[in-house]
A = this chain, B = another copy of it.
Amino acid sequence: MEETGFAGFSAREVARRIGYSIGTIYNVFESLDHLLIAINGRTFELWTDYLAERIAEGGGDRIQSLVEAYFGFARDHPKLWMAIYDHRLPPGMFMPDRDMEKRRALTRIVFHEIARQLPDCADSEVEHLARSLIATVHGHCTYELNGSFALMGEKHPTAMALNRVREAIASAGRS
């Protein structure tokens, strides 16, 4: 996935590269969707670890570390990161809870960091804000990776995302 990207990914190519036949792939994974869920689940784990490390090792500004690590992972593994959002489950199919949990783990990191910035804020309020800020940074990161920002001449997507996050936290702190 890291080499071919989502569009170029195929079960047959996987089989070729690991030296097995297609049949074996389909004995291990119920369908291509299940294989993709497994791959993206692993990506989420890598990403979560990456975030936790960067926040711990970063300087005092944990929010900056968080936003920059969010972008950093995506930039380091663009095809892996995009595959997460390229893969859409067919209608009626649902993600196993084990994989859902991997995604929630990342959300929890963000929640925890925002709660830290807003000690007087109710948890439900922080959850709200965390979801919104994830969407905000995600939007910036998407435009960065798909080249839209470069095309528009935008040179500091990370800084912009950080600004939006700072404003939102400051605004929540005032009220």
Contact = CB atoms under 8 A, between A and B. Distances in A.
A100 B151 CA distance: 10
A42 interface: no
This chain's copy number in the assembly: 2
Contact of A168 (B86, B107, B154, B167): B167
A154 B139 contact: no
A88 interface: yes
A73 to B, nearest CB: 16
A137 interface: yes
Contact of A140 (B7, B107, B135, B154): B135
A143 B135 CA distance: 7
Interface residues of A, number: 32
B131 A164 contact: no
A136 B152 contact: no
Interface of A: 7, 85-86, 88, 90, 100, 107, 128, 131-132, 134-140, 142-143, 146, 149, 151-152, 154, 157, 160-161, 163-164, 167-168, 171
17 contacts: A7-B90, A85-B146, A86-B86, A131-B149, A135-B140, A135-B142, A135-B157, A135-B160, A136-B136, A136-B139, A138-B139, A138-B142, A138-B143, A139-B140, A139-B142, A142-B142, A167-B171
